[in-house]
Amino acid sequence: MATAMQNDDSAIEKWKLRRTIQYLSSLRGRGTSLVTMIVPAQSQLSRTTKLLTDEYALSSCIKSSQTRHNVQQALSAAQGRLRLYTQNTLPENGLVLYTGIVYDEEQHRETKISMCIEPLQPLQYGLYRCETHFITDFLQQQIIDSVNDLNARRYGIMVIDGNGTLFARIDPQQGTTILKRIQVSLPKKHGRGGQSAPRFERLRREAIHNYLTKVAENAKSVFLNNQQHGLCNVDGFILSGSANLKQELAKSDLLGTQIQNKILRIIDVSYGGDNGLQETLRLSTDLLADLKLTQERQLLDEIFCQINLSSTTNETNTVSYTIGIDETSLILNEGSNLIDRLIIWENLITKRYVYQKRDEEKIIIVADNEQQAQKKLKILIKQNDNEQIECIDEMNLIDYLTENYKEMNIRLYLVTDRSPEGQQFRLGFGGCIALLRYPISTSLFDSLENNNENNEIDAYDY
């Protein structure tokens, strides 16, 4: 089966840019000393260089010695960055410089920042700002615009039945978002006869009509933008439910032409509410195929099926996959290009620690924090307690993978947990699954089981 979600390097680059922007947005400096500079596309680099020289001269007038020093350090770093470029090598979309000395209030530590970012879209204007924070809003907007392109549409979903209605929206950026819920208690059909039967049926039809009117009013308030003269904020609608109420609502004029003309599909589902929403998404895979969330669900469904098939047909004590960070990192440390595809949760907090002995032998450990890494390290070097070991590198595992997956010949996929499959992947599989190029013996993972047993013993060692 072909993978629905293609391994797109541009998607990984966008994720790395978004992560960098989030990091820069969280930084703060002492005083107005953090420099943000935009070099527009096809601008004269000499003008930007002259601007930095003039600003450096003006910075000598700053009264605060600390702020003056920080500003001059930031301007010098920006000048050094610009010297790496010429008019011919300047990126076609322009360049954004972030330089300065940031201050961490928790650790009471200063860190120098010097970074160049090439934007996703051409920058048409220049900017020089010296603030207490970096200016990143225009880059964030570019990421949003790149996600919400013409090929990635937004849809409104209404799941309606006799118990209530759920309004949701699905889009490329936020995934599935539940906007509103309403509940109702409609009179049931009954077998009462005689002269009261028409009256009971009339009361039931009136209650249904009032319910559909309420649903239509809520749909207009949720999906119509009054600031844009009643235009829909989605590109199409999907009606679903377990009863005939959805057909009655679609045939009536209650929704108005703005919504009624954009109804793309009416789907019969077995449930209402959240379960009905998930079933609607599964039955609308072809319509929502251009959305990243749908592609993620198809990818994870394929991976789950492949793991299940491999588990039920395996009789040779071999596996062609790894589950969880520990098993996957063990294969990565082998360095034998075993991994073909690696699926990982994009918000994984696990870090990669590199320790080194005096004889220059390196030990690589993955753990959520340094305390866990030290426990794992203690188990590995239990027989050599006298050897001095120091941590020479600490890096988020996902950052390491996105930087080196090409050299390791791995097809890397970053997925979210905004779908039921994504949540199952994060909670049940540890947010990490690797598919191998060929089966390996399960005895390779015996060391992990022994380490887990040692951890349990240490936990009860008084």
Give the span between the Cα atoms of 166 and 183, in whole angstroms: 9
Asked if 176 and 183 count as a contact pair (C-beta separation under 8 A), the reply is: no
Q: Is residue 413 very low, low, confident or very high in pLDDT (cuts 50, 70, 90)? A: very high
Q: What is the mean predicted confidence (pLDDT) over 184-205?
A: 74
Long-range contacts of 372-375 (CB under 8 A, 24+ apart): 375/455, 375/458
User: In the predicted model, what is the mean pLDDT of the chain?
Assistant: 83
- Please tell me which of 66-80, 98-112, 299-313, 438-452 the model is most confident about, judged by mean pLDDT: 66-80
User: Token pair of 82, please?
Assistant: 């610009």
Domain ranges of the chain: 9-147, 155-289, 298-459
pLDDT at 2 (0 to 100): 42
Residue 412: count other Cβ atoms within 10 Å of its Cβ.
20
Q: Is residue 460 very low, low, confident or very high in pLDDT (cuts 50, 70, 90)? A: very low
Domain 298-459 has CATH 3.30.1330.30: yes
User: Mean pLDDT lowest for which of 300-314, 370-384, 391-405?
Assistant: 370-384
Looking at CATH, the fold of the domain delimited by 155-289 is given as Nucleotidyltransferase; domain 5 (3.30.420)
- Helices 370-380 and 446-459 pack at an angle, to 10 degrees, of 110
Cα torsion 220, 225, 227, 231: sign: negative
Cα torsion 433, 437, 438, 440: sign: negative
Asked if 181 and 173 count as a contact pair (C-beta separation under 8 A), the reply is: no
Alpha-carbon distances, residue 457 vs 325, 383, 433 (angstroms): 22, 17, 28
pLDDT at 213 (0 to 100): 93
pLDDT at 194 (0 to 100): 59
Domain 9-147 and domain 155-289, same fold? Reply is no
* 300-352 pLDDT per residue, tens: 998 998 888 877 666 677 888 899 998 898 888 876 688 999 999 999 999 99
Concatenated DSSP letters for 375-440? HHHHHHTTT-TTS--EEEEEEEHHHHHHHHTTTTT-EEEEE-SSSHHHHHHHHHSTTEEEEEEEEE
* 255-271 pLDDT per residue, tens: 888 888 889 999 999 88
In the three-class reduction of DSSP (H, G, I as helix; E, B as strand; rest coil), residue 7 is classed as coil
Contacts of 288 (CB under 8 A, 6+ apart): 155, 170, 281, 294
Give the span between the Cα atoms of 114 and 390, in whole angstroms: 27
Give the span between the Cα atoms of 317 and 333, in whole angstroms: 22
Strand residues in 62-174 grouped as ranges (E): 95-104, 109-117, 127-131, 155-161, 164-171
Q: Is residue 384 very low, low, confident or very high in pLDDT (cuts 50, 70, 90)? A: low
- CATH node for 9-147: 3.30.960.10
